[in-house]
Chain A
Amino acid sequence: MAHIVVDPVTRIEGHLRVEAEVEGGQVTQAWSSSTMFRGIELILKGRDPRDAWAFAQRICGVCTTVHAIASVRAVERAIGAIPPPNARLLRNLIMSAQVVQDHVVHFYHLHALDWVDIVNALKADPAKTSSLAQSISDWPLSSTTYFTGVRDRIKAFVERGQLGPFANAYWGHPAYRLPPEANLMAVAHYLEALDWQRRFIRIHAILGGKNPHLQSFLVGGMATPVDPDSQDALNMETIAALDKLVSDGVKFVSQVYLPDVLAVASFYKDWASIGAGIGNYMCYGEYPLDDGEKPELMLLPGIIRARELSKVESVDQSHVSEWITHSWYEYSVGDEKGLSPFEGETSPHFTGPKPPFERLDVGQKYSWLKSPRYDGAPMEVGPLARMLVAYASGRPARVKELVDLTLTKLGVGPQALFSTLGRIAARSIEALVLVESMDRWVRGLADNMSRRDYAIQDNSKWDPSTWPSECYGAGFHEAPRGSLGHWVHIKNGAIVNYQCVVPSTWNAGPRDAKGQPGPYEAALVGTPVANPEQPLEILRTLHSFDPCMACGVHVVDVTKRDLARLRVS
């Protein structure tokens, strides 16, 4: 039996460490540990709730919009502000652009090198690569000349002997299975995606001033002015620019990203039965299609348990509890109990080995992440959970259509979705569904302008003197990596308590008091490991979740009585 430590887990956001036992060529047990803590919720205490989005946004610079969105929603619920229709459309565009760009970057720049052997691409025949590319897509960059150029660039890079970020990797590992031509095509698209993401994210600059860390959010709406008769507002010129960026996005996702996922997956079908893990999936729902208290959502909320697609349960936030039995925190009621987020406590208390250390004592506390549970059960959140809920619900129809198409093309059944490969496929399907939806929100803005509706903000609640002296609110969002919630308690215009329950906490958290592993830990069990010195296969399953550790580490500090007063959206 070998005990493997992977630290740092690279090609992720943040600081993740995994320890695993390997026996008989596969993982038998795994432990997920987050090794960084900042305490942003503590820093938020006492501050102006209208500033909270900017602080919370800095939880993560990769999913740079998600905590800002959850934050303004939470404060709006607390003070009773109602964003106007233009703000909803602007936010939908910002959120969907974030998901689409993030998914593409994840596949090509954070995940692809687990499946694609760059060095092997040098052996590719550019003419055969061209045939391969043209057989799976109409994407125009597919000529023999084009792939010859890419191959020669990579060849020159490798021959120079300075591999930079590609040094010391796992090239030639037996688990790499793509033919040289597929490797070359994927490397070409790695480089193209690097350019594409930079262009596509201009949507955020248009609507948010800059990316990362957009700066147009307001409690009660958005700061982006809308006026077709001004050069200092969203006008027809910017609508046209958005149109162009969105249609280019549809092309890239449908002609490059999705075909590449299918092409790569077809060589790794065994990974459709590896990495399932927990088998429970949760989604809060997202993308309001109208305004008001209970808007219709494009992606539905729901829970699927034990991989049972015939039944979708509704979600009730009051069933959430958090455990710290194996986390570096203390509870006044003892560390063996779970607490509802509304009753949660904050006491960071590091009991691990003093750095530098070789091993964590995984029988004790071993992570800065807590362990969220729903009805005491671990839940996987993220694109797979969202697509499963949509697939099982039959809405939106486009999801069902794309999932069925993917399964048919790969010649596998729906059970294949519960896997490492299933997460990758779900992410690409979601990217296409969302980028195709953006057009209607751009048109929605234009329609409002045609009606001379330029409102972007509920100014009636801007002044804190209009707020209740004490109020509570919760805001939810489906971030690229899954279900996100922020809770805020406001008193006399200042934040008393602030709390986030975050996607990567759900997925990457450690064991709970009952010893139930979290989704990462469970998914790693059974993962093959050809060479314990080279943890390539472990990275495959971990990366399929798209880890985002800075998001995952948070502090709960809400008092007991908050529960009764909470207004949940």
Chain B
Amino acid sequence: MFGQSLAQELEYRGISRRDFLGFCSSMAAVLGLPAAATEAIAAAVENEARPILVWLEFQDCAGNTESFLRATHPTVADLILDSISLNYHETIMAAAGHQAEGALKDTVRDNQGKYIALVEGSIPTGADGAYCTIGGRSALEIAREVCGGAAATIAVGTCAAFGGIPAAAPNPTGALSVADAVPGVKNLINMSACPANAENITALIVYYMTLKRWPPLDRYRRPLFAYGKSIHDNCERRAHFDAGQYVEAWGDEAHRHGHCLYKMGCKGPATSQNCPVVKWNEGTNWPIGCGHPCLGCAEPNFWDTMTPFYKRLPNVAGFDVGSWVDPVGLSLTGLAAAAAAAHGIGEISRARLGKRPSVEEKAGSE
């Protein structure tokens, strides 16, 4: 699976050692590793070689592809894009038709059990597979063959991870997640969200190259480094929630001053992702930072369980506490609420809001 060493890449690309270490340092931060890990990441990325990737698009909108193109640290992101050998990606690749199919076929044949498959979009099972064909073959047939021969499969975005919008009720095409459509694939990792954040996709690849294993996952097979905490727990507006300061109408004083969006329907308490920490588009902003509630897009079946989007989540611990608590007790109450939120809220709301997917039972694993 490994080709050329990356040390030479640095030289070819005129990237200074300092820039490179800067990149490794921010990767360590994304992965939640101590500062000392920077050197280890640098050593790993330099000495190891280039994993072969194939990126499949099925019932998708290409949003995850576009997200991937927004990966930050521009110069070094170029390095990473080129340092993996991306042998198939319909949106980017120069070849088309038979030549494109040939690239995929050769890669799968010559690298059995060694390449990494990334899947974007859900996989339809209705109409004998005719709801999505590529080169005359059904998405399901392609997924079985390509994911079946991969060292690992990364389901990028909520459609591939959990079925996403095509699988939302009434699921007109029988759309399934990778886990449900192709049970038993090796090392399946779900990078959910709509779309998945480029920082997290890149971090996952660096994690693998650095530590030579795949990261620990939560019960939905999502890496803990990106999905280990709720939006609510890391939210910059959390203090306003604890203090009972809520936006009541769009554009009101509270809204203009960054108060809590819970009453406007925010799904942050029921959603696990690192948006508040990593943010989007070179760390520029994130939805709550832009005054709009979280939609819960990293969660299974969010199109059905988190809607109506502007309806308040039921039973969130700590809601409205601040309106009556005395100033001295505030911080303690806040801590208690934070603990409750961290341990139970996601569960409660999911149980109340609807069904959960069969991802865990059906996914293969090592």
Contacts and interface: CB of A to CB of B under 8 A. Distances in A.
B143 to A, nearest CB: 13
Interface in A498-543: 533-535, 539
Contacts of B75: 195
Given A43-B165, A357-B136, A459-B250, A202 B308 contact: no
A368 to B, nearest CB: 8
Contacts of B229: none
Nearest to A154: B12
B258 A231 contact: yes
Nearest to A167: B103
A481 interface: no
B295 A54 contact: yes
A350 B260 CA distance: 48
A51 B302 CA distance: 12
A378 B288 CA distance: 43
Contacts of A202: 281-282, 284
Given A61-B66, A224-B291, A210 B280 contact: yes
B251 A352 contact: no
Nearest to A355: B138
B173 A38 contact: yes
A11 B65 CA distance: 12
Contact of B96 (A9, A54, A221, A358): A9
B318 interface: no
Interface stretch (B22-30, B81-89, B216-224, B322-330): B81-89
Interface in A233-273: 233
B104 to A, nearest CB: 10
Interface stretch (B124-132, B184-192, B355-363): B124-132
Interface string A47-80: 1101100110011111010000000000000000
A222 B87 CA distance: 41
A13 B94 contact: no
A209 B3 CA distance: 38
A230 to B, nearest CB: 5
Nearest to B175: A38
A539 B97 CA distance: 10
Contact of B97 (A6, A36, A42, A149): A6
A15 B132 contact: yes
Given A35-B132, A198-B282, A169 B95 contact: yes
Given A113-B94, A215-B295, A455 B170 contact: no
A413 interface: no
Interface string A481-496: 0000000000000000
Contacts of A201: 70, 281
A216 B130 contact: no
Nearest to B251: A456
Q: Which of A10, A162, A233, A454 has the most CB of B within 10 A?
A: A10
B256 A356 contact: no
B65 A535 contact: no
B166 A38 contact: yes
B256 A60 contact: no
A550 B69 contact: no
Nearest to B248: A459
Interface string B177-215: 000000000000000001100000000000000000000
A39 B172 contact: yes
Given A15-B132, A206-B284, A215 B137 contact: no
A5 B98 CA distance: 8
B210 to A, nearest CB: 21
B228 interface: no
Contacts of B66: 61-62, 64, 211-212
B94 A170 contact: yes
A105 B68 CA distance: 14
Interface of A: 5-15, 17, 35-40, 42-43, 47-48, 50-51, 54-55, 58-62, 64, 105, 109-110, 113, 118, 149, 152-153, 156-157, 160, 162, 164-170, 191, 194-195, 197-199, 201-202, 204-213, 215-216, 218, 220-221, 223-227, 230-233, 328, 348, 350, 352-358, 454-457, 459, 462, 533-535, 539, 550
24 contacts: A8-B135, A11-B93, A11-B96, A15-B57, A36-B132, A37-B132, A51-B310, A58-B63, A61-B66, A118-B94, A157-B82, A160-B3, A165-B93, A167-B103, A168-B100, A198-B69, A206-B284, A212-B66, A215-B295, A216-B291, A355-B129, A355-B136, A459-B250, A533-B98
